[in-house]
Chains A and B, each alone.
Chain A
Amino acid sequence: MGRAKLPRKSTTIDMTAMCDVAFLLLSFFILTTKFKPSEAIAVTTPSSVASKVAPNKDFVLITIDKDGKVFLTIDDKQKRELVANSLNTTKNLGIDVAKFKSANFVGASFSGLNSFLSISEENRKGNLLPGIPCKDTTNNEMIVWMQAVNEAYAGSKMDLLLKGDNLAKYPSFKGVLIAFKKNNIQKFQMVTNPENAPVGSELYKRGMSGEKQEN
């Protein structure tokens, strides 16, 4: 039987173009990626419509974890030294300044600060630490911390950030607010995840009509 022979076509495709695209994308992602530093304190931040990007230098960060424990992070190492020195003089704590300088965050009461600093960096995990006491109005150590921070940053730019966990209870937030108010700090920023304005809301309408958002 004579059957019409179909011409056999090659099934190999030239992969070069695809390879080009793949590696172009790969180099893009390698260059844009920024590895998240493993965080000692696990915090899931709430989302807000605020569109301003949080500053990433010259900041003083106060973290509230899900149990309401408060931690303090000072970005600048020079300022850390100033804070440690001023606390040593005012509260007579005898902090090891060099250790304090290398500590990424503080999360203990004044009485437990030296034992906190003796823990190695990798073992300092937020869930195991006591945090800075601030819930109690009579023993709000955040007030002293903020005072020292204020002094250290006198005359220079400081961005005060507050990063709270979704589940943190209000009293610890309030304790931090009291510490701010006591030190005449009226301006601070809260770290959130970006979110779009809900469709149909007033902000959404303003955004659509091209008005600039204020915050």
Chain B
Amino acid sequence: MAELDTSGGGHKKGPGVKKGKKLSTRVDLTPMVDLGFLLITFFIFTTTMSQPTAMKLLLPDDKVRPEDQNKAKESGALTILMGADNHIYYYEGQLKSDASNFLSASYNGENSIRDVIMKKKAYVRSIAQDPNDPEHDLVVVIKPSQYCNYKNVIDILDEMSINVVKKFALVDIFDIEEQLVKKSDESATPSSK
């Protein structure tokens, strides 16, 4: 394998010719293998196999007149609000004046926002009038407060594609909601994400 054929090209030498001393050409390849694997590990660690992906987002056109905008049905609307320290809140339909339907959820684990969305989806499906498009009325409104971070927004937008929600909107938060979020943030114990 690692030896070279030193027998002299196959033709036989005459009887009087002295044979040169046959040197072993066997090379110890162990250090070479060591070096090889060392370099392999180096390149494995430095290589970036996973390329960053891109998530598409379409923004609504602000210039559309209010009467042209599609109105969300109250029964199918779910509003998600994001607060500081990975707090997340939601309400269904319209926010009641006493904020009794303002509930808190989490990004994952128990009482996750995914369950909330799934439940809402199932509910919208159960009351749908059009059997061909049972999720027509489902609209998720995302309202990030100024205290939440970029990751929270991406997580929720990602949740939309995870749960295959067709209609969702990233909307500015109302002052009253922002205050509610702030108040709940302060009263809630910091949840871990």
A interface residues (Cβ-Cβ under 8 A, vs B): 14-19, 22-23, 25-26, 29-30, 32-36, 45-55, 64, 161, 164-171, 173-174, 177, 180-181, 184-195, 197-198, 201-204, 206, 213-215
Contacts and interface: CB of A to CB of B under 8 A. Distances in A.
A213 B150 CA distance: 24
B109 interface: no
Nearest to B31: A15
Given A29-B44, A50-B56, A15 B29 contact: yes
Interface in B124-144: 144
A202 to B, nearest CB: 5
A177 B162 contact: no
Given A15-B30, A50-B54, A193-B53, 12 more contacts: A15-B28, A15-B29, A18-B33, A49-B158, A50-B56, A168-B149, A170-B152, A187-B58, A188-B57, A190-B55, A203-B162, A215-B56
Which applies to chain B's interface (DSSP): helix, strand, loop or mixed? mixed
A25 B33 CA distance: 12
B188 interface: no
B154 A46 contact: yes
Interface of B: 1-2, 28-30, 32-33, 36-37, 39-40, 43-44, 46-48, 50-62, 82, 114, 118, 144-155, 157-158, 161-164, 170, 172
A215 B39 contact: no
Contacts of B32: 15, 19
Contacts of A204: 162
B117 to A, nearest CB: 9
A169 B146 contact: yes
A35 B149 contact: no
A52 B150 contact: no
A83 B170 CA distance: 30
A170 B145 contact: yes
Given A169-B149, A206-B164, A33 B54 contact: no
A202 B33 contact: no
A19 B29 contact: yes
A189 B59 CA distance: 11
B25 to A, nearest CB: 12
Contact of B56 (A45, A173, A181, A187): A187
A170 B170 CA distance: 12
